[in-house]
Amino acid sequence: MERTGRPTLAVVGATGAVGTVMLEILSQHADIWGEIRLIASPRSAGRKLAVRGEQVEVSALAEEVFDGVDIAMFDVPDEVAAEWAPIAVAKGAVVVDNSGAFRMDPDVPLVVPEVNAHAARRRPRGIVATPNCTTLSMIVALGALHAEFGLRELVVSSYQAVSGAGRAGVDALRRQLSLVAGTDLGTRPGDVRRAVGDDTGPFPEPVALNVVPWAGSLREDGWSSEEMKVRDESRKILGLPKLPVAVTCVRVPVLTTHSLTVHARFEDEVTVEGAREILATAPGVVLFDNPAAGEFPTPADVTGTDPTWVGRVRRALDDPTALELFVCGDNLRKGSALNTTQIAESLAAETR
């Protein structure tokens, strides 16, 4: 394939759970990039990873790896992004960052292409941020409904997959499942906790046969950082800086795909028919909503797919301005790698 003249892409954090999915997606969209450079921590340097059917050697993160890079996708911890994204920008790259380091910076757009693609054009710091995976798992559907009905309030509860905490989260659940499967654990006081022991991985409690109402770190007044992200990022993406948003984030024993229940109140009366029409035609959304035929989205259906799936569309029985939804999105695809890649590809189109 002829790649001369096409932009050069750097993938920073290529060996992580999200990086792995980025490489899969890049392999499916093979005609966009010239060189693809894979970057990770020094510990992973020298490994070879497959992308577009070729083995590419991973380079250690360093200033010179950004020489000649047009666009860099970052999926690294906040503090690494905070340090290295500006270095990549100084070297001439536009950075698409999937960390939390820049999302709320007023000079960094927070972009979901289906909702606010225009925002990516104004990027004074040379950085475009991509939202937290929990926000992303619902925001495409909500953006479509907001455009038609005008959002006035959100009450959201999450059912978050362990891969939101990276490979360590996946490993923790798999290990714990091996300890409890085939036993009679899970019905007596403390039995799951004793079986799992103190090694609960990146979670504060056992996650097998359990749900854990905590994600992230402690913020003011008892809120978790994950809950604050969903509120703050939703407001910024939708351009509704004062939208009332109440969120409770809960980890569940699912490997991939975040699910959310959404109670969304709008400016005026809504109808289920109207909402279904919007969702059925919105880009990036699949309406899967026919309970009589057993159709509603679950992670088992959604994992590995790109869109935001929406089901259980009901109008609140006591409030004709509110809708109830159940929304699922693959947290590793649209929730992280896909959204980042979509933004990078739209920036690549700019450079042509």
Which CB sits closer to a copy of itself, 41 or 248?
A: 248
Q: Which of residues 52-81 bind a copy of itself (CB under 8 A)?
A: none
Alpha helices in the chain (DSSP H): 17-28, 78-90, 113-116, 133-149, 166-180, 191-196, 225-238, 272-281, 299-302, 338-351
Angle separating helix axes 17-28 and 166-180, nearest 10 degrees: 110
Which CB sits closer to a copy of itself, 62 or 246?
A: 246
Please state the closest distance from residue 80 (CB atom) to a copy of itself, in A. Answer: 25
DSSP, collapsed to helix, strand or coil, labels residue 45 as: coil
* Alpha carbons 240 and 116: distance in angstroms, whole number: 12
Determine, following the binding rule CB under 8 A, whether residue 259 of this chain makes contact with a copy of itself.
yes
Determine, following the binding rule CB under 8 A, whether residue 239 of this chain makes contact with a copy of itself.
no
Q: Which of residues 281-310 bind a copy of itself (CB under 8 A)?
A: 289, 291-292, 294, 296-301, 303-305
Please state the closest distance from residue 95 (CB atom) to a copy of itself, in A. Answer: 28
Could you give the C-alpha distances from 188 to 72, 184, 185, 195, in angstroms and in order? 51, 9, 7, 12
Could you tell me which residues are beta bridge partners of residue 149? none
Sheet strand arrangement including 71-74: 48-51, 54-60, 36-40, 9-12, 71-74, 94-97, 127-129
Of 130, 210, 308, 340, the one binding a copy of itself by CB under 8 A: 210
Which CB sits closer to a copy of itself, 26 or 170?
A: 170
Q: Which two tokens stand for residue 146?
A: 């907001």
Binding residues for substrate: 160, 251
Please state the closest distance from residue 246 (CB atom) to a copy of itself, in A. Answer: 5
Please state the closest distance from residue 148 (CB atom) to a copy of itself, in A. Answer: 20
118 is catalytic: no
Stretch that binds a copy of itself, among 32-40, 75-83, 87-95, 211-219 (CB under 8 A): 211-219
Q: Are 333 and 347 in contact (CB under 8 A)?
A: no
Please state the closest distance from residue 17 (CB atom) to a copy of itself, in A. Answer: 9
Exposure string over 61-79, b if 16+ CB within 10 A, otherwise e: beeebbeebbbbbbbbeee
Catalytic residue among 133, 146, 249, 328: 133
Determine, following the binding rule CB under 8 A, whether residue 205 of this chain makes contact with a copy of itself.
yes
Binding residues for phosphate: 103
Stretch that binds a copy of itself, among 7-15, 35-43, 51-59, 201-209 (CB under 8 A): 201-209
Q: Are 226 and 215 in contact (CB under 8 A)?
A: yes
Sheet strand arrangement including 151-159: 245-248, 151-159, 258-266, 322-329, 308-315, 285-287
Which CB sits closer to a copy of itself, 66 or 159?
A: 159
Of 25, 87, 89, 252, the one binding a copy of itself by CB under 8 A: 252
Q: Are 330 and 306 in contact (CB under 8 A)?
A: yes
**What is the maximum alpha-carbon separation in the chain?**
64
Q: Which of residues 144-183 bind a copy of itself (CB under 8 A)?
A: 153, 155, 157, 159, 163, 170, 174, 177-178, 180-182
Q: Site mask, a copy of itself, residues 306-335, x = CB under 8 A?
A: -----xxxxxxxxx--x-x-x---------
Of 64, 188, 199, 268, the one binding a copy of itself by CB under 8 A: 188
Please state the closest distance from residue 278 (CB atom) to a copy of itself, in A. Answer: 16
133 is catalytic: yes
The residues annotated as belonging to the active site are 133, 258
